[in-house]
Amino acid sequence: MKDYKWQDKDGQTFILIKVKPGSKRTVINGIVDVKTVYPVKKALSISISSQPEDNKANKELIEFMADNLNLPKSSIRISHGLKNRLKVISIAS
Sign, Cα dihedral of 29, 86, 52, 55: positive
Domains of the chain, start order: 5-91 (3.30.1200.10)
Give the pLDDT confidence score for residue 14 in this predicted structure: 87
Q: pTM of the entire structure?
A: 0.88
Return the DSSP state at 11: S
Give the pLDDT confidence score for residue 1 in this predicted structure: 45
Using alpha carbons only, give the angle 81, 63, 45 rounded to the nearest 5 degrees.
50
Return the DSSP state at 73: G
User: What band does 76 get if pLDDT is binned at 50, 70 and 90?
Assistant: very high
68 Cβ neighbours under 8 A, 6+ residues apart = 28
